[in-house]
Structure 1
Amino acid sequence: MEYPTIKDGKYTYIETKGGEETLILLHGLFGALSNFEGIIAAFGQSYNVVIPILPMFELPIREVSVMGLVDHLSDFIRDKGYRKVHLLGNSLGGHIALLYTLANQDKIASLILTGSSGLFESAMGNSFPKRGDFEFIKKKTQDTFFDPSIASNELINEVYSIVNDRNRAIRVIATSKSAVRHNLGDKLHNIKVPTLLIWGRQDQVTPAFVGEKFHELIPHSRLHLIDQCGHAPMMEKKDDFNRFLSAFLQEVSGLVSVGK
C-alpha cells in the first residue's frame, strides 16, 4: 500500500494512520522514503508510521547542523500533537533521535537505532570526494551494503547528484562536521527509555563495535547483530529487521503482532 506525501507548511512527511501508537522513522544524510519501504509494509497498518523528510538542504545555512534538524523534529512532533512516540533512526537519523530523546524522554515510548552515528562514523573518509568522481561515489554507496547490488542505480545517481550540487554538498559537509562535534559518549547513560539496537555485522560506516558500545553505554538496551549485513539493515535484511522490531514493540507497547 502506498501513502501520499503530505506537505504542510514547513513539513513534508508521510503518515499511515494505521494504529493508535506512533512510530516515527528518521532517515540518514543520504536517506529517502525508499529506505523504509520494508518497515512501512510490515507496520503501516498496525502503527501510525510517520516519516518526516528532514530538511537537510532547505534549512537556512546558519541553521545547518545536527541540532537544526533536531529542532525541526521537535517542532514537527509538537505541532502534530504526538504524545508519546516510538522513535527509530538510521545513521544520522539515529543521531537526531538520540539528541531528541535526551531532551524529551517523557515523550518517548521507545528508541530504536540502526547504524546510528553519535559515537563513531566513517562515511566518505577523511575528505569529501571531488565533484564528478562518479566511480568513487558508486563504490562508497555500494560499500554501505554487504551486498553491493542493493545499491540501485537510482540510489547511486541520487548520491552523485547531491555531491555535485555545490549548495547541497556544502550542507552535507556542515551537517557531518556538526554531527562529529556532537559525540554523545558521555551522555548515553542518561537514556532511560527502552532501547533496541539493530546492527549489521559488516557495517563499514558505523562498524559493529559501535553498536556494541551503544549497548554498553545505554542502560535499558538490547542489541541484535545481523550477519551478511551492512549499514542499513532495514533495507538489506528486511525480514530479520522487522522480526526484531516487532518483538520489541510488542513487548514495549503490548500491541498484537504485525499482520494479525
Structure 2
Amino acid sequence: MSSISKDRDLRVPVPSKRLNLVLLHGLFGSLSNWDSVTRAFSDRHNIYIPKLPILQQSFAVSPMENLVLYLEHYIEENHIAHPVLIGNSLGGHLALLYSLKGQHRVWGLVLTGSSGLFENTLMDHFPRTRDYSYIKSKVREVFYKKEAVDEELINKVFSCIQNKKNVLSIIRVAKDAKRQNLKKELPNIEIPVQLIWGMQDVVTPVSVAEEFYLLLPSSRLCLINECGHVPMMEQPDQFNNLMDEFISRKIINDKETRTQKNLNSFNRTIAIS
C-alpha cells in the first residue's frame, strides 16, 4: 500500500458488504497516524480518513461545531452508511459529538485518548512557538514510547505553529473542546463503545478513561501498558487486536439484531493488555 502521510483525505474502498471505518485524528494528528490500522483492516473493511479542517475555521459557528458539520458533509459526500467512528484525542471528541446528533447513524465507536471530559493540551495558550527544543520536548511528552516520535513528526508540528494564523486556529479549537465537556450527555450514548487507553497517557490520564467507562452505558475499557496518548502508533499490534475483537464480536455479530437488550449486554469488564 502506498504511503498515507499526504495531507489529503484517504479512501481505501473494498467490497460494499464490509464495514465502513472512519478514522479521526487529533489536534496535531495526520493521516499517517493511522498507517498501522489501515494496513491491518483495509483488506476487510472500507477505510476513510478525513483530513480535519482544524486550520480552516469558520467564524459562523464554534470550532467543534464546524468540525461536526465537516464530518457530516464528508460522510454524506462519500455515501458512508452506518460507520464505525474511531477517534484519537480530539478525533474521539468529534466522534462523540457526531453520535450525539444522531447515534442511529453510527454502528459503534472506538475512542482512544479521547477529549470530551478532560485533557492537558499543548496549545490552549501561547507556548514558545519559536523554541524548537521546547516544542520537541512537548511533542515527546505525549508519547510514552519515544521511539514512535521521529524528527518528521516534530518538524511538522514546529513548522505548523510558525504561522500565527495556524496558532490562533489551533488555540481556538483547543479552548472550544475544553469548554464542551460532555459529562451530562455521555449517558445518552447507547451504541457500543470500545475505549482503548494508554496507561501512561499524560494528556488524558487513565482516570479520564475510567470516567468515560462509568458514563457510557455500553462501553468496555481496555488499558495498554507502556503506552501514552497515541496507542495506535505506540502499541499498534495490541491496539489493532483490541479493535479487531470489538469489530468482530460486537459490531459484525450484532449489527443485524441491534436491540436495547443487545446494547446493554456488552461485556463491560476493564481489561489490561
The offset of 1:197, in angstroms, is 0.2
Question: Are 1:18 and 2:9 matched, yes or no?
Answer: no
Aligned equivalents of 2:9 and 2:91: distance in 1?
15
Tell me the equivalent position of 1:238: 236
RMSD value over aligned CA atoms?
A: 1.9
CA distance in 1, matches of 2:61, 2:97: 16
Shift of 1:245: 0.3
Instruction: Name the CA distance, whole Å, in 2 between partners of 1:18 and 1:46.
Output: 7
Task: Give secondary structure in 1 for the equivalent of 2:120.
Answer: coil
Following superposition, the deviation at residue 145 of structure 1 comes to 0.7
Segments of structure 1 that go 5 or more residues without pairing to the other structure are 256-260
Equivalence for 2:75: 77
Say whether the 8 Å CA contact 2:4–2:32 is kept in structure 1. no
Percent sequence identity is 40
Matches within 5 A, 1:23-102: 23-63=21-61, 65-102=63-100
Instruction: Give me the TM-score of the superposition, normalised by structure 1.
Output: 0.92
Of the three residues 102, 106, 109, the one matched with 1:108 is 106
What do the CA deviations read for 1:192-251 (whole angstroms, capped 9, x no partner)? 100000000000100111111100100000000000000000000000000000000001
C-alpha distance in 2, partners of 1:63/1:237?
Answer: 36
Cα distance change of structure 1 residues 140 and 62 upon mapping to structure 2, 3 Å threshold: farther
Contact 1:3 1:15 in 2 (8 A): no
Paired residues in the alignment total 251
* Alpha-carbon distance between aligned partners in 2 of 1:126 and 1:44, rounded to the nearest angstrom: 35
Change in 2 beyond 3 A, CA 1:62/1:153: farther
Cα deviation for residue 100 of structure 1 reads: 0.2
Q: CA deviation at 1:83?
A: 1.6
The residue identity in structure 1 corresponding to 2:29 is G
Which residue matches 1:199? 197
Offset of 1:124 from its aligned partner?
2.0
Structure 2 alignment gaps of length 5 or more: 254-273
- Shift of residue 2, structure 1, vs aligned partner: 2.1
User: Is the CA contact 1:199–1:231 (under 8 Å) kept in the aligned structure 2?
Assistant: yes
Shift of 1:253: 3.3
Aligned counterparts of 2:252 and 2:60: Cα–Cα separation in 1: 43
Instruction: Give yes or no for contact 1:5–1:13 (8 Å, CA) kept in 2.
Output: no
SS of equivalent to 1:57? coil
Does structure 2 retain, via aligned residues, the 8 Å contact 1:203–1:230? yes
Q: In the aligned structure 2, how far is the partner of 1:76 from the partner of 1:126?
A: 27
